């Protein structure tokens, strides 16, 4: 199609007049510029003559009347201009084309314009109105966010920021629009800045994929089966005050020690729904603000030692010889009558029986382990709890009663592992390569810190092997089957063996070890990150905090400083002359909650 001189053409969405015709067209734009373009670069709208593309004012038209007349059909630009504006001129052609370009009533090319029906127009109008509303809402949200505010209607936008903070998505258009970095820490910081999250918002369990909901699997009734009646022995479940899942207790029968453990395998059989759920979790998740149990709550209610008048247990009987070795190992399902006590209560009664007897056996066994190269580290520990939004950090006292219970649990683990090894029973053994550190029982905090850093990682295996850290030739964890999945597996194996049933083979044990450890890694990481989070919150709640730290490692110009009152290790600038184990007076200077970082200054 030839393009006449002084005709109206469309060029890059705007009107232009053809000023000269040749191999190329010279066109005049509405802003007065002259351009040379190829004929195929323009679209003819009206043959002209057009005087000035800047003066294309059309009269008012009857758009809806034309749409009604042509609804569902086709037309041309010339006919459309006639119907809407009463004439076909450069000005009405341009106005008609703008209607086509707008796309509400008409769409297409100058030679073939499709006309929408009123129903289509109404639908398009609704869609455009919704889009305009969304655009306004988006811009209003961004304005509020830039001012550090949010409104209830901003929740959908902030949800995508939360998903980045939780580690569920890598990017958010909100973060991009607000010039924030696309990472969980930046998302967390924005949510805090807007007041959408507060310091109580702990993103770390969800970020690492830990499960927070309580298991709902059903449990069978306790089997009616023979159990050794040990209710005549005094049994004591000794734990921290407020403990909700007591799963071990101690008895003394003459010089024979009994370690009673909640009989979880009596209710949780291999590959049952509760077992599969526990395997997927790996362990109970303990957070300062909540607990997500590994097993259904009903399991603790039925099996927790001392929660009912008489409790079912799997009891480990053993004799501790004069040299500290464990002998005469016996493992039996039992009934026990358990009394619950706190470590603090027992601490005041260590000169009474049976607590004195527990203590003597523990010391005897510990001395043997020490001679065998066991590692003993007593770094400061704290308990972190969140109560009504306030963080409480309480140092755990180094009580002999706590060490008595720990040693008894080690004895039970050694006894169970030896029992399984002697019978070629496939079992989830716990092993650890021995450390090469010369001082396995250091007295200073710096030496303990160095020893801990040099320890080889603990491992689980279907094959028995030494546990260098404990100084034992063979060991397995068996005293927390309500809280650790591999302890439960050990109980399932022992139960099947004692009942003469089918036991899991070595391959099944290996598969369970792999699954449980993979899950437990997430649990441990969620617990560690959550403790760091709540420690930072505690310091936010105590902005004037002052306390003491101990230099435990020097890598100038910074050193690792342990703060016993907080159970926190931080890095600070220290002078070269400051020696290890030096006590430093510290003052808090700031907290970065999304980074779980607290800054301190050494006070001179």
For 145-179, the pLDDT digits (tens) are 999 999 999 999 999 999 999 999 999 999 999 99
Co-location of 559 and 527 in the same domain: no
Q: According to the model, what pLDDT value does residue 243 have?
A: 82
What is the pLDDT confidence band of residue 602, given thresholds at 50, 70 and 90? very high
- What is the average per-residue pLDDT within 333-337? 98
Number of domains into which the chain is organized: 4
Residues 6+ apart with CB under 8 A from 123: none
Co-location of 351 and 461 in the same domain: yes
Report CA 190 to chain centroid distance, whole Å.
Answer: 18
**What does the CA dihedral 444, 449, 451, 456 come to, rounded to 10 degrees?**
160
Residue 433 in tokens: 């390569």
pLDDT at 437 over 80: no
> Quick check: is 70 in a domain?
no
> Quick check: is 59 in a domain?
no
Co-location of 383 and 425 in the same domain: yes
Upstream peptide bond of 49 is cis (omega within 30 degrees of 0): yes
Neighbour tally for 553: CB within 10 Å = 16
> Quick check: is 61 in a domain?
no
3-class secondary-structure state, position 34: strand
Cα 256–Cα 257–Cα 258 angle in degrees, nearest 5: 120
Co-location of 517 and 547 in the same domain: no
> Quick check: is 583 in a domain?
yes
Q: Report the largest interatomic distance among the alpha carbons of the chain, rounded to a whole angstrom.
A: 120
CATH of the domain at 1: 2.30.30.140
DSSP 331-394: EEEEEE-EEEEEHHHHHTTTTSTTHHHHHHHHHHHHHHHHHTT--------EEEEEETTEEEEE
How do residues 97-116 score in pLDDT, each as one tens digit? 999 999 999 999 988 999 98
Q: According to the model, what pLDDT value does residue 41 have?
A: 94
What is the pLDDT confidence band of residue 1, given thresholds at 50, 70 and 90? low
> Quick check: is 527 in a domain?
yes
pLDDT at 533 over 70: yes
Neighbour tally for 85: CB within 10 Å = 21
> Quick check: is 462 in a domain?
yes
CA distance 479 to 409: 6
Residues 6+ apart with CB under 8 A from 161: 172, 174, 175, 187, 190, 191, 196
Co-location of 346 and 486 in the same domain: yes
CATH of the domain at 125: 1.10.10.10
Residues 6+ apart with CB under 8 A from 306: 237, 246, 249, 338, 339, 340
Pairing of strands 326-336, 311-320: antiparallel
- What is the average per-residue pLDDT within 529-553? 97
CA distance 16 to 3: 12
Q: According to the model, what pLDDT value does residue 575 have?
A: 85
CB contact at 8 A, 570 and 536: no
DSSP 183-201: SHHHHHHHHHHTTSS-TT-
Closest C-alpha among 362, 355, 372 to residue 406: 362
Q: Which residues pair with 560 in a beta bridge?
A: 553, 571
Co-location of 262 and 323 in the same domain: yes
Co-location of 521 and 467 in the same domain: yes
How do residues 470-525 score in pLDDT, each as one tens digit? 999 999 999 999 999 999 999 999 999 999 999 999 999 999 999 999 999 999 99
Quote the mean pLDDT of the chain: 94
Co-location of 236 and 364 in the same domain: yes
Query: In terms of residue numbers, what domain contains 583?
Result: 542-602
CATH of the domain at 584: 2.40.50.140
- What is the average per-residue pLDDT within 269-286? 97
Q: According to the model, what pLDDT value does residue 469 have?
A: 93
> Quick check: is 142 in a domain?
yes
CA distance 70 to 320: 102
**366 φ/ψ angles, rounded to the nearest 5 degrees:** -65, -40
**What does the CA dihedral 89, 92, 98, 99 come to, rounded to 10 degrees?**
-130
Q: According to the model, what pLDDT value does residue 224 have?
A: 93
- Overall size of the chain counted in residues: 604
> Quick check: is 569 in a domain?
yes
Co-location of 276 and 191 in the same domain: no
pTM value? Answer: 0.85
CB contact at 8 A, 267 and 328: no
How do residues 552-584 score in pLDDT, each as one tens digit? 999 888 899 999 999 999 999 988 888 999 999
Co-location of 152 and 300 in the same domain: no
Cα 385–Cα 588–Cα 560 angle in degrees, nearest 5: 85
Co-location of 525 and 546 in the same domain: no
3-class secondary-structure state, position 569: strand
DSSP state of 213: S
Co-location of 154 and 187 in the same domain: yes
């Amino acid at each position: 199609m030839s393009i006449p001189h002084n005709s109206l053409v469309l060029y890059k969405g705007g009107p232009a007049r053809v000023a000269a015709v040749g191999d190329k067209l010279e066109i005049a734009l509405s802003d007065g510029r002259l351009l040379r373009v190829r004929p195929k670069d323009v679209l003819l709208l009206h043959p002209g003559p057009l005087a000035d593309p800047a003066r294309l004012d059309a009269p008012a038209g009857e758009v809806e009347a034309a749409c009604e007349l042509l609804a569902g059909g086709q037309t041309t630009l010339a006919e459309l201009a006639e119907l809407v504006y009463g004439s076909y001129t450069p000005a009405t052609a341009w106005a008609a084309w703008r209607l086509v370009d707008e796309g509400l009533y008409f769409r297409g090319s100058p030679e073939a314009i499709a006309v929408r029906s009123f129903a289509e127009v109404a639908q398009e109008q609704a869609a455009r109105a919704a889009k305009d509303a969304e655009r306004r809402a988006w811009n209003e949200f961004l304005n509020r966010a830039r001012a550090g505010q949010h409104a209830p209607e901003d929740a959908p936008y902030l949800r995508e920021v939360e998903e980045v903070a939780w580690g569920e998505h890598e990017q958010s258009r909100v973060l991009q629009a607000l010039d924030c970095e696309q990472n969980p820490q930046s998302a967390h910081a924005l949510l805090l800045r807007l007041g959408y999250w507060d310091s109580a918002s702990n993103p770390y369990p969800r970020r690492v994929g830990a499960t927070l909901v309580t298991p709902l699997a059903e449990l069978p009734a306790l089997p009616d089966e023979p159990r050794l009646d040990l209710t005549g022995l005094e049994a004591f479940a000794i734990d921290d005050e407020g403990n909700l899942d007591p799963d071990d207790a101690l008895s003394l029968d003459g010089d024979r020690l009994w370690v009673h453990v909640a009989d979880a395998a009596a209710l949780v059989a291999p590959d049952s729904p509760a077992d599969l759920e526990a395997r997927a979790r790996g362990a109970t998740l303990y957070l300062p603000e909540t607990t997500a149990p590994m097993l259904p709550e009903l399991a603790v209610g039925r099996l927790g030692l001392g929660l009912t008048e008489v409790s079912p247990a799997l009891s480990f009987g053993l004799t501790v010889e004069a040299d500290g070795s464990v002998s005469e190992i016996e493992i039996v399902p039992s009934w026990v009558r358990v009394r619950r006590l706190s470590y603090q209560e027992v601490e005041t009664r260590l000169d009474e029986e049976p607590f004195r007897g527990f203590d003597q056996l523990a010391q005897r066994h510990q001395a043997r382990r020490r001679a065998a190269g066991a590692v003993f580290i007593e770094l400061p520990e704290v308990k972190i709890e969140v109560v009504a939004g306030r963080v409480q950090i309480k140092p755990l006292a180094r009580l002999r009663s706590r060490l008595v219970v720990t040693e008894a649990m080690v004895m039970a683990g050694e006894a169970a592992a030896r029992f399984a090894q002697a019978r070629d029973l496939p079992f989830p053994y716990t092993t650890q390569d021995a450390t090469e550190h010369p001082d396995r029982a250091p007295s200073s905090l710096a030496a303990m810190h160095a020893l801990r850093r040099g320890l080889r990682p603990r491992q689980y295996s279907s094959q028995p092997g030494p546990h260098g850290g404990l100084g034992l030739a063979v060991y397995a964890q068996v005293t927390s089957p309500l809280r650790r999945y591999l302890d439960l597996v050990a109980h399932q194996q022992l139960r099947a063996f004692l009942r003469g049933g089918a036991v899991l083979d070595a391959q099944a044990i290996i598969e369970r070890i792999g699954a449980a450890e993979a899950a437990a890694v997430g649990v441990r990481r969620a617990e560690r990150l959550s403790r760091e989070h709540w420690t930072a919150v505690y310091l936010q709640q105590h902005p004037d905090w002052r306390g003491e730290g101990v230099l435990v490692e020097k890598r100038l110009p910074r050193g690792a400083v342990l703060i016993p009152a907080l159970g926190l290790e931080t890095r600070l600038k220290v002078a070269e002359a400051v020696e290890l184990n030096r006590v430093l007076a510290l003052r808090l200077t700031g907290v970065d909650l999304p980074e779980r970082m607290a800054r301190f200054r050494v006070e001179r």
